[in-house]
Amino acid sequence: MGDLPPSEKPAPGPLRIAILGGGIVGLTLALALAQQQQQQLSDPPAPGSNTPVPPPFTFTLYESAAHFSEIGAGIMIGWNALKVLRALGVGEEYEALARGCWLEGGGQAVGRDGEGLFFQFRFGDGRRGGEPFFTMRTPGGQMNTHRAELLELLLAHVPASCVKFQKQLIRYSQQPGGSITVAFRDGTQEECDVLLGADGIKSTVRKLMYEARGDLALQEPRWSGSYAYRALVPTEKVLAAVGRTITSTPMMWLAPSQHAVHYPVAGGKYINVVAFKSDYTKGRCPTWETQDWVEHDVDEKELMKDYEGCASQVKAILELVKRPSRWAMFDVPDLPYFVQGDVALLGDAAHAMTPHQGNGASQGIEDAHLLAHLLAHPKVTPDNVSAALKAYELVRKDRVQRIKELSYETGRLWELVSPAGDNVTEFARVAEDRMDWIWSVDISKQLQTAVAWFEMSLA
Ligand SMILES: Cc1cc2nc3c(=O)[nH]c(=O)nc-3n(C[C@H](O)[C@H](O)[C@H](O)COP(=O)(O)OP(=O)(O)OC[C@H]3O[C@@H](n4cnc5c(N)ncnc54)[C@H](O)[C@@H]3O)c2cc1C
């Protein structure tokens, strides 16, 4: 049977969007889509028409776990992502949470120039008596919270009816020109028109996408040569050990091949401590020796052994850490594509990076904002949604992969093994140039460029 003439074709139903994964990025996408949906449904009907506007799209978020959860640690939202949260209408809420973590004397408050403290840098091996050698500022002030607080905030804006738990994707398939069938470990299946993989660094969507094209080896995450001990320490203990200035101030202690970071979180009740250790002698992608990337309940003596010889203030803080977790720092190599047909990757699934610029989740938040905007475009249909996904890839891939590579370089900068070494003037110049470029993104321009690409592809 031939194709029906366009006038006799049934109007396509609403676009059915499936989001895989309910971490920070999947939830931001769900929030952004819910917001777009609300906006479109509240649009008045066309003049002369009484028909209510049909829902432009529907979406469901599938999460493999039984409930949403985040690890017990802090997270920093960069100025670039704060602009997105503001555009999504949750910026003020987030800023209130972050400001609630600031402690007296911490210096994060935003000054007349619109900037507040980002981090204070000191040598962690006691050089210069452990006194600050550089203070870096950020637009909007330092925006850290406990991860669970951020997750809760996002969740409050996502309709519960759009979320399904205990849905672990194991497979998807698509007939040419047809819808996508998504299969879950519990034996159930769902149909959708577009599948968005926000399922983290070990993404199943990414593996299936690359496997289908014989490209599996191109997407294997790689160890960066670094690992980090993570813990939350009660603030009063840190205050008693090192005094108010060091406790309150977001701080980085730098030494060759290691650096320790700390800042207050959870309404200032805890100090989030992350102590990195690296081995740069084996090159960029050495092999990580153990099966697990994350070990829990690690003997704190191992941390103290790794930090032997550190400055007395760092030692005093690390001695308060009990049974930390230890994380191997992996990233995803530069993927040749984020999109195949009606399937796209975002967040860590597309570009997991080392955490040295505090911008991995922030980049995923940029992805989510852009994707939601494109998918809500009034001209998107199940037949052309792949063009909208392509526009997302065209705008996001180069920027985020550049940031990912810079993040690795920034780890070397913080650990005094970059070309800047311990030259404080050069160190400060490189750090400021890099972070300014990341933070100064024009998120409206990103959207406009992507929409223009999509509209051009329809012409
Ligand atoms: C030490 C450290 C510090 C960091 N600090 C910062 C920081 O300060 N600022 C910042 O911006 N970033 C930071 N990051 C990076 C940030 O943590 C990540 O980029 C971010 O959490 C990724 O979010 P995501 O939603 O993409 O993935 P994830 O958080 O990994 O979420 C993926 C979700 O998908 C679900 N899932 C997985 N597989 C399936 C499946 N098959 N089916 C269904 N669901 C599935 C999982 O259960 C999970 O809920 C840091 C990272 C590390 C390691």
Q: How far apart are alpha carbons 243 and 247 in whole angstroms?
A: 6
Which residue, 289, 313, 331, sits at the end of a domain? Answer: 331
Which residue, 278, 310, 331, sits at the end of a domain? Answer: 331
Quote ipTM for the complex: 0.99
Helix axes 385-414, 424-439, angle to 10 degrees: 160
Residue 10 CB burial class (10 angstroms; 0-12, 13-18, ≥19) = exposed
Using an 8 Å Cβ cutoff, are 452 and 390 in contact?
Answer: no
Helix or strand run (H / E) with residue 260? strand 258-265
Is residue 44 over pLDDT 70? no
Q: Ligand 1 in contact with 97 (CB < 6 A)?
A: no
Which residue, 304, 331, 358, sits at the end of a domain? Answer: 331
Q: What angle do CA 273, 274, 275 make, to 5 degrees?
A: 120
Determine how β-strand 294-295 pairs with β-strand 270-278: unpaired
C-alpha 238 to ligand 1 mean position (Å): 28
Q: Which atom of ligand 1 is nearest to the CA of 21?
A: 34
C-alpha 324 to ligand 1 mean position (Å): 19
Residue whose CA lies nearest to ligand 1 atom number 27: 200
Q: What are the start-end ranges of the H helices in 1-157?
A: 24-41, 79-87, 91-99, 147-155
Q: Ligand 1 in contact with 375 (CB < 6 A)?
A: no
Taking all residues of the chain, what is their mean pLDDT, rounded to a whole number?
93
Q: How far apart are alpha carbons 34 and 159 in whole angstroms?
A: 8
User: pLDDT tens digits for 90-137?
Assistant: 999 999 999 999 999 888 888 888 899 999 999 999 888 889 999 999
Strand partners, 174: 180
User: Looking at the structure, do residues 131 and 181 belong to the same domain, yes or no?
Assistant: no
Helix (H/G/I), strand (E/B), else coil: 330 = strand
User: Looking at the structure, do residues 50 and 175 belong to the same domain, yes or no?
Assistant: yes
User: pLDDT tens digits for 251-269?
Assistant: 999 999 999 999 999 999 9
Q: Ligand 1 in contact with 168 (CB < 6 A)?
A: yes
Model confidence band, residue 210 (pLDDT cutoffs 50, 70, 90): very high
Q: Ligand 1 in contact with 411 (CB < 6 A)?
A: no
> Phi, psi (5° rounding) for residue 359?
-135, 10
Average pLDDT, integer, range 71-90? 94
Helix or strand run (H / E) with residue 262? strand 258-265
Output the domain CATH number for residue 136: 3.30.9.30
Q: Ligand 1 in contact with 25 (CB < 6 A)?
A: yes
Q: What are the start-end ranges of the H helices in 133-182?
A: 147-155
User: pLDDT tens digits for 396-451?
Assistant: 999 999 999 999 999 999 999 999 999 999 999 999 999 999 999 999 999 999 99
Q: Give the per-residue pLDDT at 2.
A: 46
Q: Give the per-residue pLDDT at 51.
A: 62
Q: Give the per-residue pLDDT at 69.
A: 83
Residue whose CA lies nearest to ligand 1 atom number 3: 355
Q: Which atom of ligand 1 is nearest to the CA of 228?
A: 1
User: Looking at the structure, do residues 295 and 390 belong to the same domain, yes or no?
Assistant: no
Tell me, yes or no, whether 5 lies in a domain.
no
Say how many domains are in the chain: 2
User: pLDDT tens digits for 237-255?
Assistant: 999 999 999 999 999 999 9
C-alpha 72 to ligand 1 mean position (Å): 13
Which residues form the domain of 325? Answer: 115-141+222-331
